[in-house]
Structure 1
């Protein structure tokens, strides 16, 4: 009897949670972010295209172009600008594309100059696949778990800096899986979890946010015993890591 009451209580709590999420989650629209894919991503792209915020391919893959379109939409409608499509963003998208009366955007659709002031500048014409983003996010999780968000962006920035350096392969998987390059890939810590914050850190680094000022290396000074890594000139410390070129 006590077990039955416990199960009932769980279902009641779940019911309240679902109701509280509002219309969009009643329609099974999940939280979307860079690297996700599927029918709901296609729906997102179609809605953004309908109202003029997205001009890319309708490929059901949450790419960098989709990410920027989401951020522009969020800015225009006064939503938190994080590039993540949760309940609040879904609800505004639904209202904006359903013919219902919708509050006019707080800002007009951003110009290129406005967008560049909101988001870090993309690095050249580099494009990264959803798989690249997912891999980098896992490494950020494994390498900077428990660190401040800035520390996570810093780790992601080192990966991007290596991608643009002639000293490293010009491929995200090749950079990440170089022998001994990232401890979390060697010991499996990278695959123990993944958070939206890790993905956001990667996206910020891709779009030019580099708190390391161009670092190519980092390490935890309380753990690393490599004489070679310690021979690199330390530029700064962020979180538990020191960074060097």
Structure 2
């Protein structure tokens, strides 16, 4: 079973907005960054690498030091890019496809908490995985915000539960979903069989049931 202890450094980075943190739009173009640079883009780079488990320091900064360079090199090596430690256009493009910024992680944790609080940890990760699967599908909006706020997509958005503050477990579940844990079998939908009345959702190919939710493609 995955470690459900939410480490101190990540709780600080996620739950509190640091004075130097820059919230960067997911589609913003970034200049190439390398060792020794100081830039407002560095916190976003470090945060994304932190979510993926590459950047270990407790806080993000505006300085591109050795720990940032090492994190970039390991990310590049794992994802088949030249491991030069420079965050250029190819590295940024790939990093944005497989990671999230702080705002996106907040949104993902909120929808997990709103839709799946009270479920097992695996059930919470599963809801996050559905969002990530939709992000990879051409049939849905191409941003996490667009997916979550798509009209009628999530009942918790419609009834206001999405506005509640998520707990640390929801954040950890969001991180695990971003890192690729998908207990749903690539599902794009889920529903509660005790309350679902839509014939369409019942017609979808089902992959697994986790807690109160049936997941489907």
Q: Which TM-score applies when normalising by structure 1? A: 0.57
Q: Deviations over 1:91-116 (max 9, x none)?
A: xxxxxxxxxxxxxxxxxx9x949x97
CA distance in 1, matches of 2:46, 2:17: 6
Q: Secondary structure of the residue that 1:225 maps to in structure 2?
A: coil
Instruction: Answer whether contact 2:185 2:208 (CA < 8 A) is retained.
Output: no
How far apart are residue 158 of structure 1 and its match?
0.2
Q: Secondary structure of the residue that 1:63 maps to in structure 2?
A: helix
Instruction: Answer whether contact 2:135 2:147 (CA < 8 A) is retained.
Output: yes
Instruction: Answer whether contact 1:220 1:242 (CA < 8 A) is retained.
Output: yes
User: Where in structure 2 are the equivalents of 1:51-130 lying within 5 Å?
Assistant: 58-59=42-43, 63-67=47-51, 68-69=53-54, 72=56, 112=74, 125=95, 126=97, 127-130=99-102
Structure 1 residues 62 and 152: alpha-carbon distance in aligned structure 2, compared to 1, 3 A threshold? farther
- Give RMSD over aligned pairs: 3.1
Instruction: Answer whether contact 1:137 1:198 (CA < 8 A) is retained.
Output: yes
Structure 1 segments of 4+ aligned residues over 6 angstroms from their partners? none
Match of 1:132 among 101, 104, 108: 104
How many residues align? The count is 161
Q: Secondary structure of the residue that 1:59 maps to in structure 2?
A: helix
**1:163 matched residue in structure 2:** 135
Q: Secondary structure of the residue that 2:181 maps to in structure 1?
A: coil
**1:172 matched residue in structure 2:** 144
Instruction: Answer whether contact 1:41 1:62 (CA < 8 A) is retained.
Output: no
CA distance in 1, matches of 2:170, 2:132: 14
Instruction: Answer whether contact 2:190 2:214 (CA < 8 A) is retained.
Output: yes
User: Where in structure 2 are the equivalents of 1:194-205 lying within 5 Å?
Assistant: 194-205=166-177
Instruction: Answer whether contact 1:163 1:175 (CA < 8 A) is retained.
Output: yes
Match of 1:226 among 191, 198, 217: 198
Long gaps (5+) in structure 1: 1-28, 43-55, 74-84, 91-108, 117-123
**2:188 matched residue in structure 1:** 216
Q: Secondary structure of the residue that 1:34 maps to in structure 2?
A: helix
Q: Which TM-score applies when normalising by structure 2? A: 0.64
- Which structure has the bigger radius of gyration? 1
Q: Secondary structure of the residue that 1:194 maps to in structure 2?
A: coil
Q: Deviations over 1:61-108 (max 9, x none)?
A: 9722133245x57xxxxxxxxxxx6xxxx9xxxxxxxxxxxxxxxxxx
**2:209 matched residue in structure 1:** 237
How far apart are residue 39 of structure 1 and its match?
3.6
Q: Which has the higher helix share?
A: 1
Match of 2:114 among 142, 156, 176: 142
Q: Secondary structure of the residue that 1:175 maps to in structure 2?
A: helix
User: Where in structure 2 are the equivalents of 1:20-35 lying within 5 Å?
Assistant: 31-34=11-14
Long gaps (5+) in structure 2: 1-8, 23-39, 60-70, 79-93
How far apart are residue 129 of structure 1 and its match?
2.1
Structure 1 residues 62 and 147: alpha-carbon distance in aligned structure 2, compared to 1, 3 A threshold? farther
CA distance in 2, matches of 1:41, 1:243: 36
